[in-house]
Structure formats: C-alpha cells, structure tokens
Amino acid sequence: MENYLDLAVDLLPGLRTSIYMALACLAVGLPLGFLAGMALNSQQRWLRIVVVIFVEIFRGFPALLTLYLVYFGLTNFLVVGRFTSVVIAFGLTSAAYAAEIFRAAIASVPKGQLEAAQSLAFTRVQITTRVIIPHVLNVVVPPIIGIAIITFQGTALAYAIGARELLGSAYSIGMTDFRVLEPLMVAAALYLVVTSLLSWMEILADRRVQRITGKASRRRSGSARKRLKGKTDDKTSKSPALAR
C-alpha cells in the first residue's frame, strides 16, 4: 500500500499538468465554440457554411491526428512547445464539439425575450450580453462539463509528443525499473477520481437546469392560461346570450 501511495505522490505533478492542459484547452475551445454557435444561428449563409466546414473537420479528425498536425506542422514555421500544441489542437477540437451545444442553446432563447430587448432599443452587443449569454449559461453547463471530462481524458494523448502529463509521468516512472503496471494503475485511479468528481458536478448542474426550465415552463403555461381565461371572459361579457 505504501508503494501505491508513494506512486500517487510522484504522479501529482503529472496530474497537475493534465488539469492545467484541460483548463487551457477549455479556455480556448469554449469561447470559440460560443462564437461558432452564434455563427451557426446567423442569417449570413456564407458564415454558416464556413463554420460548418470548421466543425466537420475538427469533429471528423481523430484528436491524435489533430495533435500531430499542429505539433509537427506549426514547428516548421514557429517555435511551439508541447503544452501549446496540445492547447491549440484540443482547443480547436473542443470548440467544434461545443459549437453545436451553443447553437442549440442560443436557438432556444425565447423569442419574447429577444423581441422585448429589441423594443427597448438594445444594441446587438447588449442583447448578446444581457439576454443570450445568461440564458445560455443556464442551459449549457451539463454538456460543457461532459466536454471537460472528454478533454481531461484526451490530455493523455499528449504523451504521444513527449509531454509529461499524468500518463506520460506514469510510463516514465514505470520504465525506471521496468514495472509499468503499478504506475499505470495509480494513474488510472487518479483519472477516475477527477472524472467522477466532474460527473457528480454534471449531475448537480443537470438537476439545476431541470428546476430552472421546469419553473419557466410552469410560468409560461400559467400566463397562457390567464390569457386564455381573459379572452374567454371577454367573449362572455360581449355575448348577450351568454350574459343572460
């Protein structure tokens, strides 16, 4: 047992690197995914076509192939480190997957809210920041956490270009005495701890979204019943036969 605890301590720097990689990839991918989602809802056909091509390319490429293309391609023109290559490659991949999530969330914004904002003479920026983004944040958190889980697991591919993340650290430690299985088992346990924590957060976020959307639907149905009742009362008061 002490051996496994010592291995866990030795692997903590690699775990920290994997977490930093995943956070950096999401910091690149989520804003790009939001912009891509906005573009997919745009009235400009050429813009939608460009974004669809981007999404299909990076969703169609295997993540490892994208990493190889970025790492070996950019190094011909720029000085790019392993960490930066991982962030660029997986940031673009996560953006491609997040784009569809944001597209659906933006499309679900109630038209009444948009019309109300337009009637108040809101600018496009104000509509985005005050209407669209708050609604999107209430909806997209669970699937975005799912993307975060996949991105964190995907950082293991960085070992293929020599990065010392969690998997790379486990393999390097194991090769010092040619006992690779134990470090890999400890690394698997650390991956499981992080992904289980994220999965728990995803469940909580999904319950919160269901409560919010449930309350909103009840408010809409209640207001609809009130409008219908008001119309019925108006018709009753206007009809002499019904009034008698």
Instruction: Please tell me the predicted confidence (pLDDT) of residue 213.
Output: 65
Three-state secondary structure call for residue 120: coil
DSSP 155-189: GGGGGGGT--SHHHHHHHHHHHTT--HHHHHHHHH
What gap in Å lies between CA 30 and CA 35, rounded to an integer? Answer: 9
Cα angle 27-106-211, degrees, rounded to a multiple of 5:
90
pLDDT exceeds cutoff 70 at 225: no
pLDDT digits (tens, 9 = 90+) for 180-200: 899 999 999 999 999 999 999
Question: Cα 81 to chain center, whole Å?
Answer: 25
Here the tokens at position 144 are 């975005």
pLDDT digits (tens, 9 = 90+) for 64-93: 999 999 999 987 888 788 999 999 999 999
Span 139-151, average pLDDT: 92
Query: 59, 188 in Cβ contact below 8 A?
Result: no
Highest mean pLDDT among 27-36, 106-115, 128-137, 205-214: 27-36
pTM, entire model: 0.80
Instruction: Please tell me the predicted confidence (pLDDT) of residue 80.
Output: 84
pLDDT exceeds cutoff 70 at 18: yes
Span 8-34, average pLDDT: 95
Cα angle 47-49-54, degrees, rounded to a multiple of 5:
95
Domains of the chain with bracketed CATH: 2-238 (1.10.3720.10)
What gap in Å lies between CA 165 and CA 25, rounded to an integer? Answer: 14
What gap in Å lies between CA 8 and CA 202, rounded to an integer? Answer: 26
Span 28-56, average pLDDT: 94
